[in-house]
Structure formats: structure tokens, C-alpha cells
Amino acid sequence: MVELEEERRRLFTLLLAAGLSLIMLMLGLTMLMLLVVVAFWDSHRMAAIIVCVIVLFGGGAGIAAWVHHQAPQKTFLKSTLEQFEIDRELMESRRET
């Protein structure tokens, strides 16, 4: 039960930090894109907007691929599951003798 409570606290802290980080990154990226578009407004406004869109879509696709790669990894109650495996092996070896 202690491990489950620790995992819950850790996940809550991570989600809070990730949410705040996401908000700050989105605001920063918005300001950066605005700066780029304003800087090139007179000469290459469409090119600046297209480059910003490509960068955003590329970053989003890269993060989505990373999340897809990380999702199958099991870390929830890892030590408890390892202990269950050890216990199962001990019970099976005792049953055989």
C-alpha cells in the first residue's frame, strides 16, 4: 500500500509539473512564432508562417512518436510485481519437491 501511495504522489507531482511546463512552453513558442512572423512581415511573411507551421508539426510528430515508444514500458508497482514473480517461483519450486 505504501508503494501505491508513493506512486500516486509521484504521478500527481509529475502531472502538475508537466502541465505548468506545457503552458510556459506554449506561451514561449507563441511569442517566438509571432516574433518571426513580424520580423519577416514585409519581405517573406508566407515563408515565415510556413516554416513555423512545419516546425510545430514536426515537433508534435516527434513528441507523439516518443510517447508512443514510452507507453508500453511498465513501471507501475514494478518492485511489487518483481516480488510476486519471486514468490511464484518459490511456490512452484516447493510444489515440485
Q: Identity (one letter) of the amino acid at 26?
A: M
Q: Identity (one letter) of the amino acid at 79?
A: S
pTM above 0.85, yes or no: no
| Block mean pLDDT (10 aa), the chain, length 97 | 81 90 91 92 91 89 86 74 88 83
Residue 3's H or E segment, with its range, is helix 2-39
Residue 95's pLDDT is: 83
Residue 3: how many other CB atoms lie within 10 Å: 13
Q: CB within 8 A of 33, min separation 6: which ones?
A: 52, 56
Give the closest residue to 18 by CA, choosing from 54, 55, 77, 67: 67
Residue 97's pLDDT is: 67
Residue showing cell 518571426: 36
